[in-house]
């Protein structure tokens, strides 16, 4: 059995004033072509399908057209779960019609997929809260999927029937997953876990969540889950949320973040993107292969010593979106900004790094650089008003509010 793992499409997302829709169309077409070329048996989309709860019409249109093409008239099931950017109700709303195309949605951690059978041979064999077993066209091997869509810690415990539990979330999840695995996942089928949670190997340093991402680990989110919480019956774990494709661990099975198909912030500058091809057979650990994605613009950061160096570099890097830091004696003039914009159409931000700071002080009043990030501006404001740096908890809350507002 061959599966394709992708995640974090964030359809409708912009980069400041720049629309990414054309790039999203191109990279999703590339994913469809890879699915055809590799002749995969099923596609797993591990959450953050859209960028907001109410995505623009063109993003919704692209989403359903892409899933319909991936599903190949019901011959190749597509299983898509909700992430922390998605509205669970919106994700599940078209479910009856989607099933007729071989598209299966899970908006909540306790979602139950209604039984159905298509002329292509695709059939739901068994379904439970957070579990699905499929008969795929062209094979007698069943595909079992434990699916856990995103929810914050409080709601997740409620969905898992632990309203009054004081247990850690990871313990509650482990018990739920193990119960499902013991009931449904023997060695006669392929057993997969699909989730949109923050998962790490116990003892490893926590990786940073994506810049401008709605945080999972901060206030109101959910704690990290460990790879050791995965049932031993699982042969591959497909994760969404972190935008860099990477392997979290190899035990008890390969555990991978699929990563986003495009770079969505300059924290991902010049980052290569992938989809993952998983080959699995009953009773064996899955084999994972990385397939590079080539569509979409690169995001590049450049620090230039003066205007001439900046203009030369911009001329040589036309097919990219750029964050430019320009070392200059004083703030840029309107003429200099026009020169920069004239030579490159994809300048997202110009950050002046001023060396002659004395010239920027008038009446002993410091000017504010509005090209700084919202986080940096908030830190400066707080320090100015309170005379100290804001604490970590306050900054986490600010990031969450900022992400919700965006």
What confidence tens digit (pLDDT) does each residue in 107-149 have? 999 999 999 999 999 999 999 999 999 999 988 899 999 999 9
For the cut 70, the answer to whether the pLDDT of residue 369 exceeds it is: no
Amino acid 6: pLDDT:
98
Per-residue pLDDT band for 220 (boundaries 50, 70, 90) equals: very low
Per the rule left: phi > 0, alpha: psi between -120 and 50, beta: everything else, 364 is left
pLDDT at 283 over 50: yes
What residues are paired with 390 via a beta bridge? none
Q: What is the pTM of this model?
A: 0.84
List strand residue ranges (DSSP E) for 54-109, in order: 78-81, 103-106
Cα distance between residue 24 and residue 296, in whole Å: 7
**What pLDDT is stored for residue 141 in this prediction?**
94
The pLDDT assigned to 184 comes to 96
Higher pLDDT, 238 or 371: 238
Domain ranges of the chain: 2-293, 299-405
Whether CATH 3.10.129.10 fits 2-293: no
What pLDDT sits at residue 404? 63
| Selected residue with higher pLDDT from 217 and 68 | 68
Q: Picking from 5-9, 12-16, 23-27, 204-208, which range would have the lowest pLDDT averaged per residue?
A: 204-208
Per-residue model confidence (pLDDT) at position 367: 57
Q: What is the residue-averaged pLDDT of the chain?
A: 87
> Rounded CA gap, 180 and 132, in Å?
10
Q: Distance (Å, rounded) from C-alpha 316 to C-alpha 76? A: 43
Q: Quickly tell me which residue has 């320090």 as its tokens.
A: 383
Q: Report the pLDDT value the prediction gives residue 333, as an integer from 0 to 100.
A: 81
Task: Quick: pLDDT tens for 314-348.
Answer: 999 999 999 999 888 777 788 888 999 999 999 99
State the CB neighbour count (10 A cutoff) for residue 96.
10
Instruction: Output the DSSP codes for 320-335.
Output: EEEEEEEEESSPPPHH
**Strands 365-366 and 361-362, bridge-based pairing:** antiparallel
pLDDT score, position 364: 42
What would the mean pLDDT of 265-288 be, rounded to a whole number?
Answer: 93
The whole-angstrom separation of Cα 332 and Cα 330 is 6
| 3-state DSSP of 116-184 | CECCCCCEEEEEECCEEEEECCCCCCEEEEEEECCCCHHHHHHHCCCCCCCCCHHHHHHHHHHHHHHHH
314: helix, strand or coil: helix
Report which of residues 220 and 160 the model is more confident about.
Answer: 160
Q: How far is CA 233 from CA 32, 191, 195, 283, in A?
A: 30, 7, 16, 8
Q: Which two tokens stand for residue 396?
A: 């986490």
Angle of CA points 237, 238, 239, to nearest 5°: 115
What per-residue confidence (pLDDT) applies to 36? 96
Q: CA 306 from chain center: how many Å?
A: 36
Percent of the chain with pLDDT over 90: 59
User: Is it the case that residue 217 has pLDDT exceeding 90?
Assistant: no
| Averaged pLDDT for residues 22-32 | 96
Please, what is the Cα angle at 39 between 231 and 121, to 5 degrees?
75
Confidence of residue 154 (pLDDT cuts 50, 70, 90): confident
- Rounded to 10°, the helix 374-386/392-405 angle is 140
Order of strands across the sheet that contains 42-46: 103-106, 78-81, 42-46, 2-6, 273-279, 287-293
Residue pointed to by tokens 């004081």? 166
- Asked if 235 and 285 touch (Cβ cutoff 8 Å), the reply is yes
Stronger pLDDT, 356 or 42, i.e. the higher one? 42
pLDDT at 402: 77
With DSSP H G I counted as helix, E B as strand and the rest as coil, what are the percentages for the chain, rounded to 5? Answer: 30, 25, 45
Confidence (pLDDT) at 185: 95
Torsion over CA of 22, 25, 30 and 35, rounded to 10 degrees?
Answer: 170
Q: What is residue 11's DSSP assignment?
A: B
Alpha helices in 185-319 (DSSP H): 307-316
Residue in 281, 113, 76, 78 with CA at minimum distance from that of residue 189: 281
Q: Are 210 and 242 in contact (CB under 8 A)?
A: yes
Tell me the average pLDDT across 211-230: 67
Query: Which pLDDT belongs to residue 323?
Result: 92
């Amino acid at each position: 059995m061959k599966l394709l793992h992708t995640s974090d499409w964030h359809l409708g997302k912009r980069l400041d004033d720049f629309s990414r829709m054309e790039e999203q169309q191109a990279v999703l077409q590339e994913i469809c072509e890879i699915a055809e070329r590799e002749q995969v048996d099923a596609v797993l989309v591990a959450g953050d399908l859209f960028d907001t709860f109410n995505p623009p019409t063109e993003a919704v249109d692209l989403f359903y057209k892409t899933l319909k093409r991936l599903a190949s008239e019901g011959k190749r099931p597509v299983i898509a779960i909700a992430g922390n950017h998605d509205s669970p109700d919106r994700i599940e709303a078209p479910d009856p019609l989607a099933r007729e195309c071989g598209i299966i949605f899970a908006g909540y951690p306790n979602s139950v997929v209604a039984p159905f059978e298509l002329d292509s041979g695709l059939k739901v064999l068994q379904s439970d809260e957070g579990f699905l077993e499929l008969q795929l066209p062209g094979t007698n091997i069943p595909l079992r999927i434990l699916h856990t869509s995103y929810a914050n810690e409080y709601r997740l415990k409620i969905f898992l029937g632990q309203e009054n539990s004081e247990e850690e979330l990871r313990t509650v999840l482990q018990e739920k997953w193990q119960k499902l695995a013991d009931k449904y996942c023997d060695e006669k089928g392929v057993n997969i876990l699909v989730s949109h949670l923050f998962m790490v190997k116990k003892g490893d340093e926590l990786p940073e969540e994506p810049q401008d991402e709605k945080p999972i680990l901060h206030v109101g989110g959910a704690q990290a889950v460990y790879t050791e919480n995965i049932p031993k019956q699982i042969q591959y774990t497909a994760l969404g949320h972190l935008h860099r494709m990477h392997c979290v661990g190899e035990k008890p099975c390969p555990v991978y973040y699929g990563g986003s198909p495009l770079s969505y912030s300059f924290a991902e500058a010049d980052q290569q993107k992938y989809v993952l091809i998983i080959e699995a057979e009953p009773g064996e650990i899955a084999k994972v292969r990385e397939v590079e994605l080539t569509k979409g613009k690169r995001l590049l950061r450049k620090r230039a010593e003066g205007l001439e160096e900046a203009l030369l570099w911009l001329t040589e890097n036309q097919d990219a979106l750029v964050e430019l830091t320009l070392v200059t004696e004083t703030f840029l003039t309107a003429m200099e900004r026009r020169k920069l914009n004239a030579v490159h159409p994809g300048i997202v931000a110009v950050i002046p790094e001023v060396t002659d700071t004395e010239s920027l002080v008038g009446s002993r009043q410091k000017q504010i650089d509005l090209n700084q990030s919202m986080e940096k501006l908030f830190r400066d404001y707080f320090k100015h008003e309170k005379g100290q740096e804001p604490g970590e908890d306050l900054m986490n809350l600010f990031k969450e509010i900022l992400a919700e507002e965006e």
